[in-house]
Amino acid sequence: MARIAKVIDLPSIVKLNKADGQISSQLIQILREAVQLGDLHSGDPLPSSRELAQTLGIARGTVIEAYDQLIAEGVLEARARQGTFVSHALKSSSHQASSTHHIDAESLTDAARTYAEIFNEFKPLAHRPFAISVPTGRTQPSDVWRKLGNRFRARGVAAPSGYDDPQGVYALRSAIADYVRRSRSVQCEPEQIVITSGIQQALYLCSQILFTSHNSVWVEDPAYRGTTAILENSLHHLQITRVPVDEEGIQVQKGIELAPHACAAFVTPSHQYPLGMPMSLARRDKLIEWAKQQRAWIVEDDYDSELRYTGQPFPALQGMAPDQVIYLGTFSKVLFPSLRLGYVVLPKVLVALFCGLRVLIDRHPPSADQHVLAAFIQEGYLERHIRRIRNVYAENRQQIIQLIDRYIPKTHAFIESGDQGMHMVLWLAAPADDLKIAKIALEAGVSVKAVSPTFSQAGKRSGLILGLGDFELIQIENAVKILAKIILQNL
């Protein structure tokens, strides 16, 4: 069992003034208040009388006298051969507030209250069916990841060091440049890549750098809630135009009719989120044509395009217009979300701007895992891992579809067709309340998200987002049964 370090530094002790005399009484009062105000908690160890006397420059007998008095009062307790501790009997009173004044939530700004709502909205789901991007079982990186980590952290470039490059480790940027060229037809050099803490940070950087006050932007309808939440809360007070999607992706002509002079379009062309269809070539051409005419940016979120179950993945939009498109990628889906490593491929003119803001946010991403990931990519393990998990998710996807067909009548719910990605949408028949059903499902042990928050108010539809995590078949079947019961009871 690990030893608990003795408490040596007690900030409250600075109140002791030897010039005032009665040092023992002062010390008693200071330690008593430290316990009452929560500076010292029940069970916390105190310095030995010798250590505290040396620290304060007073007689040891004075400290012993103070300790004995507080032990008699029940504030402290002495343990044989262990030392002096704050009494366990004080658990209920050791966390008293230092002030009776509390800031009322109503006195906070509207933005502050909105952030609290976003925090609740984005809490991760429990790791059970149908949570998205849960690397369990066969979808976890192999032992190679652990071995590479041990190799790089034990010595060399991934050992603890000083500040690193805000743009990210060059070895990883070089590996990504080569990987996206081969797998996604992205045209870039390592110097155009900035490593981020996932796509979410890249979206935030875009929202702060690309626009001025009240600029207009296009966002798909429906769209990833992480994108809309960032843009809705931008300090630039952006004008957001929700552009509907159909079976070919974003309706570019509709966007032109609604906001022809927008400064950017935020899109998921390879795998529309959350509906799943890829953007057609005709729509891609039209979107790029519009962006060039308006000198607008296209922000391409390519979050899980590697996971296509039939045919070949669609190439990235960036390869068609490298100077117009900002390409966002992540390893959260194909590896694991807690890695917190993504990347943005930028036109060269934007690199310094992104790095400058990056410095103000968190200086640079943690370096050790960047070296591990660079080796994982360069030595071919990433592509092997993707091939393996693609098979796993394809199998799970088919099982979920079959189980839903078995237990949920199509009059109540049906699966959106699609052949790629880590999730599916289960549409609910009207007048289902997907938020209510998702809440009941979570309480019943099934991790699902409502799809309605991804839509604008005008285009809202009711459905559930089901992730394809690698859970046991019996877990998946039980979850479908529970979900079926909830849907049938609430329609």
If one compares 107 and 300, the residue with the highest pLDDT of the two is: 300
pLDDT value at position 8?
Answer: 55
For the segment 162-170, the average pLDDT, to the nearest whole number, is 92
Q: Do 258 and 242 share a domain, yes or no? A: yes
Gap between the Cα atoms of 428 and 461, Å rounded? 8
pLDDT value at position 179?
Answer: 97
pLDDT by residue (tens digit) across 80-130?
Answer: 888 999 998 876 444 444 444 566 667 788 888 888 899 999 998 999 999
If one compares 384 and 154, the residue with the highest pLDDT of the two is: 384
For the segment 119-147, the average pLDDT, to the nearest whole number, is 87
pLDDT by residue (tens digit) across 149-164?
Answer: 888 877 677 676 788 9
Residue 482 covered by a domain: yes
pLDDT value at position 381?
Answer: 95
Residue 324 covered by a domain: yes
Gap between the Cα atoms of 45 and 28, Å rounded? 16
pLDDT value at position 154?
Answer: 72
Provide the 10 A C-beta neighbour count for residue 109: 8
Q: Choose the weakest-confidence range: 3-17, 110-124, 304-318.
A: 3-17
- Which CATH number fits the domain that encloses residue 273? 3.40.640.10
Where does a domain end: 379, 410, 428?
379
pLDDT value at position 134?
Answer: 80
pLDDT value at position 96?
Answer: 47
pLDDT value at position 314?
Answer: 81
pLDDT value at position 437?
Answer: 98
For the segment 250-264, the average pLDDT, to the nearest whole number, is 98
Q: What percentage of the chain reaches a pLDDT higher than 70? A: 94
Q: Do 227 and 356 share a domain, yes or no? A: yes
Q: In whole angstroms, what separates CA 356 from the centre of its chain?
A: 22
Number of domains the chain contains? 3
Q: Do 194 and 268 share a domain, yes or no? A: yes
Q: Choose the weakest-confidence range: 39-53, 173-187, 347-361, 420-434.
A: 39-53
Residue 235 covered by a domain: yes
The pLDDT mean for the chain works out to 91
H helix intervals, 197-317:
199-209, 225-232, 252-258, 281-294
pLDDT value at position 7?
Answer: 52
- Write out the residue range of the structural domain in which residue 36 sits: 23-86
Q: Which residues pair with 246 in a beta bridge?
A: 249
User: Does position 231 have pLDDT exceeding 70, yes or no?
Assistant: yes
Q: Do 157 and 277 share a domain, yes or no? A: yes
Where does a domain end: 379, 401, 427?
379
pLDDT value at position 138?
Answer: 83
What separation in angstroms does the CA of 195 have from each of 166, 205, 338, 347, 466? 8, 12, 15, 15, 29
Record the pTM. 0.85
The residue whose two tokens read 């041990």 is 150
Gap between the Cα atoms of 459 and 269, Å rounded? 20
Band of the pLDDT at 243, cuts 50, 70, 90? Answer: very high
- Which CATH number fits the domain that encloses residue 429? 3.90.1150.10
pLDDT by residue (tens digit) across 416-448?
Answer: 988 889 999 999 999 999 999 999 999 999 999
Where does a domain end: 86, 115, 130?
86
For the segment 277-294, the average pLDDT, to the nearest whole number, is 97
Gap between the Cα atoms of 267 and 422, Å rounded? 18
- Which CATH number fits the domain that encloses residue 70? 1.10.10.10
Q: Which of 385, 394, 383, 429 is nearest to 408 (CA)?
A: 429
Gap between the Cα atoms of 477 and 423, Å rounded? 17
For the segment 201-207, the average pLDDT, to the nearest whole number, is 96
Q: What percentage of the chain reaches a pLDDT higher than 90? A: 70
